[in-house]
Chain A
Amino acid sequence: MVPSINTRPGRLLVHCAAAFVVALALPAYADNGDTETRDDKKQPFVIKFDNPCTPDDLNGEGEIRDESRTTTKKDGRTEFRKRTRIFGKPVGVPSLAIYTFHDDDKIIMRSNGPFFKFTQRRRIQGVPDRGIAADGTLVAAFFITHRQETEVTPTKNTHHEEPDLKCQDRNGREIDD
């Protein structure tokens, strides 16, 4: 099948699995008196997605890996560091336009209180292996908006993952909406 921006008009199927994880760890005391809680789990969250730029209903899979550290400073402030890596690729579906996506992002936040909660959105562009499909049409851009909720306390942090898929043309206009 030749993917193009017109292959699936008026239809956007999104198959995604929301993932929850709660990281619990015993706090440790650093040399400088700060209290530190680490979550270095590498266990990936598996997500499955439909590339909305292709006619296939479900043809992608990916992983989200989070590593985080919460530090309670002696002065009462909380510093939260998190690295999020997202990988995605097609699964076994022959397609002329193969999309992959990859993102490696870190966020460091600091607050005066011991607890805080935030939601982060990242916009990640899929990378096609060809810019032009076999029929000469331009391959549309494939974007994932990754929505991640994080709640930080001195002893745990909670993530809620929610990928949201968009197919857009080269001008950023949404297709199939």
Chain B
Amino acid sequence: MTNVIRALAAASVLAAAPAAGQTLLLDVTTTLPLAAALDNPCTATPEAIAFTGSTNLAQRVWLMPDGKLRLQYAESTAMQGQEPGLLTSVTYAVSGTSERDLEFDPMAFEILDFKKVGRTAGTDDNFHSVLVLAFDPQNLQLQLKLEGACDNGMP
């Protein structure tokens, strides 16, 4: 997995060469644990599928000459899930990558990355996990959380 994030970082984030006059505010590469109980909203029955995993995240934040911020990141996420207390052996799995290069006035916002949830048995549906990457201009570091969705994020 380390190789994956290194490759991602090299191929995308680092390849986007900074323009002159930018000031580097943050440059971190880290592995963040993920844990959440998600309901599959595509099914009528409420569930509490316990997901655990991690996200490898490479992130840079630049201060631009005009006062805007530039956020570059590449992430690679893998998770497994199981519904506790059930005798069935159905397991869930999520894996995916994303990368962004955004420039904006200093403000708080979230980026939502939808990742398909696969399962070992049962009917396939449109269950997606949503990796929420929250940016706060006060501390610059992306904070991660998880949500569930019954769509793929298309407009």
Contact = CB atoms under 8 A, between A and B. Distances in A.
Interface of A: 38, 40, 67-69, 79, 81-83, 106-113, 116-123, 145, 172
A83 B107 contact: no
Contacts of A123: 12, 15-16, 101
Contact of B16 (A109, A116, A121): A121
A111 B109 contact: yes
B104 to A, nearest CB: 4
Contacts of A113: 107
30 contacts: A38-B155, A40-B155, A67-B154, A68-B155, A69-B155, A79-B112, A81-B153, A82-B155, A83-B154, A106-B155, A107-B100, A107-B111, A108-B114, A110-B109, A110-B112, A110-B132, A111-B107, A111-B109, A111-B110, A116-B104, A117-B104, A117-B105, A119-B102, A119-B104, A120-B100, A120-B101, A120-B103, A121-B16, A121-B102, A123-B16
Contacts, number: 64
Interface of B: 12, 15-16, 100-105, 107-114, 132, 153-155
B72 to A, nearest CB: 9
A125 to B, nearest CB: 10
Nearest to A78: B109
A110 B110 contact: yes
Nearest to A119: B103
**Residues of B contacting A: mostly:** strand
Contacts of A109: 109-112
Given A83-B154, A110-B132, A121-B103, 17 more contacts: A68-B155, A81-B153, A106-B153, A106-B155, A107-B111, A108-B114, A109-B111, A109-B112, A110-B110, A111-B109, A113-B107, A118-B102, A119-B103, A119-B104, A120-B102, A121-B16, A123-B16
Nearest to B109: A111
Contacts of A83: 154-155
Contacts of A81: 153-155
8 nearest A-B pairs in the assembled complex, by CB-CB distance: A69-B155, A108-B112, A81-B155, A119-B103, A121-B101, A118-B104, A111-B109, A110-B110
Contacts of B102: 118-121
Contacts of A122: 101
B153 A108 contact: yes
A4 B75 CA distance: 34
A153 to B, nearest CB: 14
Nearest to B110: A110
A83 B132 CA distance: 18
B116 to A, nearest CB: 13
